[in-house]
Amino acid sequence: MEGTSLDEWNEATAKPVDLVQMDEYVKKLVGIKEEYDRAKAVLDEVSERLESAKLFLIETLKAANKKSYKVDGVALLTVTQTPSVKVPAGLMEKVQFFEYLKSKSEEAFLGLVSVNSKTLNSWYKQEFDAFAEQGKVGFKIPGLEEPSVRESLSIRKDNKK
């Protein structure tokens, strides 16, 4: 199961398969998914340790009134502070923010006004579905490119044996 190369998968999908072969491909896929899950668990654990070590060193440097620290031949650590603001959540806050941007310039407004990708796609699907329910064809929203379609495969392990 492990070690199946991309070329082997591409070669396998280039021709029809029987159900026995299909069963084997599914077993290989599940094996690869399990391998991925194990590797991701290790990565998540290492990532958590890395973040803990960084936080510890930030606090240690701050306690020593240092913004940076160098260990020759090993690393230079520098504490940086980056401001971060939250996107306006409520309608009133959005209107106020957008009016402020417009007062700066149209370019500032158009450069910063944005739509979350998931929200846009959800809204687009609702609009498309409503259009299609009316039996219409040729749905198009000005300013948006034609949608691309991404296929994905859902994998749920069957624990029944």
- Give the 3-state secondary structure of 19-85: HHHHHHHHHHHHHHHHHHHHHHHHHHHHHHHHHHHHHHHHHHHHHCCCCEEEECCCEEEECCCCCCC
pLDDT, residue 161, reads 63
Domain identity same for 24 and 74: yes
Which has more pLDDT, 50 or 88? 50
Query: Is the pLDDT assigned to residue 1 strictly greater than 60?
Result: no
Domain identity same for 24 and 57: yes
- Average pLDDT of the chain is 86
Query: Is 141 part of a structural domain of the chain?
Result: yes
User: What is the residue range of 98's domain?
Assistant: 85-114
Query: Is 92 part of a structural domain of the chain?
Result: yes
Domain identity same for 110 and 122: no
Query: Which pLDDT band, with edges at 50, 70 and 90, does 4 fall under?
Result: low
Domain identity same for 101 and 131: no
Domain identity same for 56 and 95: no
Give the residue-averaged pLDDT of 119-129.
89
For residue 12, give Cα distances in angstroms to 7, 25, 44, 86: 8, 9, 33, 48
> Among 41, 23, 8, 38, which residue's Cα sits nearest to residue 158?
23
Domain identity same for 70 and 10: yes
For residue 104, give Cα distances in angstroms to 87, 97, 99: 18, 11, 9
pLDDT digits (tens, 9 = 90+) for 102-114: 898 988 888 888 8
| Range ranked top by mean pLDDT from 42-51, 107-116, 152-161 | 42-51
Number of domains in the chain: 3
Query: Is the pLDDT assigned to residue 90 strictly greater than 90?
Result: no
- The span from the first CA to the last CA of the chain, in angstroms, equals 19
| 8 A C-beta contact, residue 4 and residue 32 | yes
pTM of the model as a whole: 0.62
Q: Exposure string (b/e) for 129-148, b if CB count within 10 Å is 16 or more?
A: eeeeeeeeeeeeeeeeeeee
What is the percent of the chain with per-residue pLDDT over 90, rounded to a whole number?
43
Query: Is the pLDDT assigned to residue 98 strictly greater than 60?
Result: yes
Domain identity same for 147 and 122: yes
Domain identity same for 124 and 71: no
Cα–Cα distance between 28 and 23 in angstroms, integer?
9
Query: Is the pLDDT assigned to residue 68 strictly greater than 90?
Result: yes
Give the residue-averaged pLDDT of 84-102.
87
Domain identity same for 26 and 59: yes
pLDDT, residue 43, reads 97
Burial class (CB in 10 A: 0-12, 13-18, 19+), 63: exposed
